[in-house]
Amino acid sequence: MKLQNLHVDLPETARGRRFDLALLELVGQMSRTRLQTLIQGGKVRLRGEIVTKPGLLLLEGGPVDVDLESSAAVDPDCAAHMRVIHADEHIVVVDKPAGLLTHKNQEAGEPGAAEIAERTHGPFPSSEEEGRRPGVVHRLDRETSGVLVLAKTKEALESLQTAFRERTVTKTYLALVHGDPRFDSEWIDARLGRHERHPDRISVVREEDEGRDALTYYEVRERFRSFALIAVSPKTGRTHQVRVHMSYIALPLVGDTLYKPSRRQLEPMGEGAPVPERQMLHAHALEIPDLAGGPTRRFEAEIPADFAEILTWLRANRALPAT
């Protein structure tokens, strides 16, 4: 089986931290569960030596090499937990679990939600500009859970792509964030583009001729001490938009290692709190135009167990006093 090699350097500032958590910040869109499996399977070397304990406390930094199976199979737990919300002759709507890609990211790579759904509901069409991405009309980050719609027919594919492009769909995410929002609701209007020094990241760009316009609206659903549950409705569909915009206004997502602030110490939830293994972002609802011209169709996915566990803990341990 052909292997790819990923090389990163752990800085000396990682000293005293868990190996898996320090490494997770450097390897991009990989779930903590998958990284721990690679470590336990002897696929990770630190300074040339195999490390098999994800919880190893680092005494120093150094070079790390990770072997990734380019023909890796999807995590069976993710596939088993992908629930079909709705299916008809035109579309399939699924509840994508965290840890699962939207679609295969390379020709020999692991399958995503689209390929898994196609096995039982396909074949799905692909547009020329999208390449071989069956049924894909929009995307969710690997570690974002929730509603994902896939097209079963060419007509549905083209219609839904137009709807997303023309912003006639309504997306509602639920997110747990650090901090205390200044307002009960707010618009964020800040252009987004590739980060100058980190091409795998997105950042707010200040020049009008850079990046692309990005508009996000949020409402506070619940407040806790130094945390909040918010409903977010991105009006544009830029890569990592919700995560970057919330971090930009000092409300970074709980569990987001890629966009957590580097110059600000985030307040921990506290002793006994569940440890988030991904960003707490869930695509809760999606409203799309009806292909036959009928009323708008709305699909919802309930909050998954890991998100609900943290939310329950916050309600029990960090509730604000009644006023």
Please give the positions annotated as active site: 141
Q: Which two tokens stand for residue 85?
A: 């919300």
Q: How far is CA 161 from CA 41, 74, 100, 255, in A?
A: 41, 26, 22, 31
Cα 218 to Cα 246: distance, rounded to the nearest angstrom: 9
Residue whose C-alpha is closest to residue 214's, from 188, 252, 251, 249 = 188
Q: List all residues 6 or more positions away from 181 whose beta carbon is below 8 Å from its beta carbon.
A: 218, 220, 223, 228, 230, 251
Beta strand pairing call for 145-151 and 281-288: parallel
Cα 283 to Cα 175: distance, rounded to the nearest angstrom: 9
Q: How far apart are the first and last CA of the chain?
A: 62
Q: List all residues 6 or more positions away from 292 whose beta carbon is below 8 Å from its beta carbon.
A: none
SS3 5: strand
Cα 149 to Cα 291: distance, rounded to the nearest angstrom: 13
